[in-house]
């Protein structure tokens, strides 16, 4: 028996793009001639990939989560204030941060499912509330400091025999990714995709649409908290740490071929989309493209990717049914 990887529909193109980018990186920079360079890239990309996985759950079930960027900022500001540089506080603050992520996800999900407000509006409102509330609480600027044991997750690593030092964030990322893949292959994950595709069909088939939607928002919230922990360790405390991350995460998910509106796409592709985006930024950096133009390139690329996916998909769909006018 030959083992063939089972790839979900639409995963292949983004993996090809990712492979091309990684090869291009090897040619462009000497740092990428050995595994350490790629590990550093993975470490840098880990927060965005985790955010994209969380965003994937919401998007594939037919929603949007615009609140993750401000949630990341909120978590980082809260962490710095509560830890205040003391190692003794690390453990309970991490638990509290994950709890806060779950809480925000719960509120987003409950308002979306119970009050029937579109998730775009709910999470936009949440974005405003979080932005305002955090700075109201901290008095306008982040205060306090992170402890060394908190920053280990974003900065430190463990020694592995063959690879050398593997960053904690890469290990956390792999655990999250494997858990997400297993979840999406199980019954709950499949029903989640079905909710995005046809909510009424799931409801008529006895699926618990509201509970699944709620679950997607909670997962997005808790993963955003996790991403914030890694990002705070990696980049330190700032009030701008989460700015624009919501759009970047959505871009990554869409780059992975996941359909906005739900019902199509795989979680591996979403993660690969996030990694591609980060690899692209590294490549542009190595090629000496000014940082200011990065966003312009990003803009052109997402439009091109979506256009390619849609036009390609339409041509493929048209072929088998020539009789339909």
Partner 1 sequence: MSLLQETPSRPRRASSVRARRFTLTPTTTVYLALVALLIIGSVLVAIDGGVLLDQGGILNILTRSTVLGLVAIGQTMVIVTGSLDLSVAYLVGLCSLVAAETMAGSESMMVPGVLLALAVAAVVGLINGLVITVLKAHAFIATLGIALVIKGYLEHTYTGPAGSVPRTFQHLGYDRIGPVPIAALLMLLIGAGAWWYLRRTRPGYHMYAVGGDLEVARLSGVRTGRTIVMAHVLCAVAAGLAGVFLASRLGSGAPYVGTDAGYDLESIAAVVLGGTVLAGGRGGVVGTIGGVLILSTLDTIFDDLAVDPFFKDVVRGVVLIVAVALYARRQLAGQLSGRSA
What residues make contact with partner 1 under the rule CB under 8 A?
A: 62-64, 66, 111-112, 115-122, 124-133, 135-136, 140, 199-200, 247, 250-251, 254, 260-261, 290-300, 302-303, 306-307, 310-311, 314
Which of 107, 96, 105, 99 lies closest to 54 in space, CA to CA?
105
CB of 239 to partner 1, least distance (A): 11
- Please give the DSSP secondary-structure letter assigned to residue 167: E
Of residues 226 and 245, the one with the C-beta less far from partner 1: 245
- The least CB distance from residue 310 to partner 1, in Å, is 4
Smallest distance from partner 1 to CB 284, Å:
11
CB of 76 to partner 1, least distance (A): 16
- The residue among 39 and 117 lying less far from partner 1, judged by its C-beta, is 117
Of 82 and 124, nearer to partner 1 (C-beta) is 124
**Of 287 and 296, CB closest to partner 1:** 296
What count of other Cβ atoms lies within 10 Å of the Cβ of residue 281? 20
Tokens read off for 1: 């028996």
Backbone angles phi, psi at 160, to 5 degrees: -120, 135
Q: CB-wise, 166 or 224, nearer to partner 1? A: 224
Least distance to partner 1, CB of residue 259, Å: 8
Q: Residue 14's beta-bridge partner residues?
A: none
Distance CA 12, CA 14 (A): 6
**Contact present, 213 and 195 (Cβ < 8 Å):** yes
SS3 160: strand
Q: Nearer Cβ to partner 1, position 175 or 303?
A: 303
**At CB < 8 A and 24+ separation, what contacts does 151-160 make?**
151/232, 151/233, 152/233, 153/229, 153/230, 153/233, 154/229, 154/230, 154/231, 154/232, 154/233, 154/234, 154/235, 155/233, 155/234, 156/233
Q: Which is nearer to partner 1, 125 or 156 (CB)?
A: 125
The single residue listed with the structure tokens 């803009």 is 299
Residue that has been written with the tokens 């430190």 in this structure: 156
Nearer to partner 1, 130 or 223 (CB): 130
Q: Output the smallest distance, CB 281 to partner 1, in A.
A: 13
Length of the chain: 325
- Neighbouring residues of 154: CB distance < 8 A, sequence distance ≥ 6: 168, 169, 229, 230, 231, 232, 233, 234, 235
Least CB distance from residue 97 to partner 1, whole Å?
Answer: 20
Q: Give the shortest CB-133-to-partner 1 separation in angstroms.
A: 5
């Amino acid at each position: 028996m030959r083992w063939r990887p089972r790839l979900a529909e639409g995963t292949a193109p983004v993996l090809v793009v990712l492979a091309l980018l990684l090869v291009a990186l090897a040619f462009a920079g000497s740092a990428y001639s050995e595994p350490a360079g790629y590990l550093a890239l993975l470490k840098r990309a880990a927060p965005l990939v985790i955010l994209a996985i969380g965003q994937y759950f919401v998007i594939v079930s037919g929603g949007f989560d615009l609140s993750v960027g401000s949630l990341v900022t909120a978590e980082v500001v809260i962490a710095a204030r509560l830890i205040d540089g003391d190692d003794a506080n690390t453990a309970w603050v991490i638990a509290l941060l994950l709890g806060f992520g779950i809480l925000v996800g719960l509120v987003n999900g409950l308002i979306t499912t119970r009050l029937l407000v579109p998730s775009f509006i709910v999470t936009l409102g949440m974005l405003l509330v979080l932005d305002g509330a955090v700075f109201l609480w901290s008095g306008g600027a982040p205060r306090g400091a992170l402890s060394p044991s908190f920053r280990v997750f974003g900065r430190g690593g463990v020694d592995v025999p063959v690879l050398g030092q593997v960053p904690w964030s890469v290990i956390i990322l792999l655990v999250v990714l494997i858990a997400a893949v297993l979840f999406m292959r199980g019954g709950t994950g499949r029903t989640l995709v079905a909710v995005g595709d046809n909510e009424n069909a799931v409801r008529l088939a006895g699926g618990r649409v509201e509970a699944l939607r709620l679950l997607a928002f909670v997962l997005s919230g808790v993963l955003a908290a996790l991403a914030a922990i890694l990002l705070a360790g990696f980049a330190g405390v700032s009030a701008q740490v989460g700015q624009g991350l919501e759009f970047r995460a959505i871009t990554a998910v869409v780059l992975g071929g996941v359909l906005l509106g739900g019902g199509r796409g795989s979680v591996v592709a979403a993660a690969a989309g996030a990694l591609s985006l980060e690899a692209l930024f590294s490549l542009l950096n190595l090629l000496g493209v000014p940082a200011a133009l990065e966003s312009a390139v990003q803009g052109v690329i997402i439009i091109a990717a979506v256009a390619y996916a849609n036009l390609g998909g339409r041509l493929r769909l048209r072929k088998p049914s020539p009789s339909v006018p």
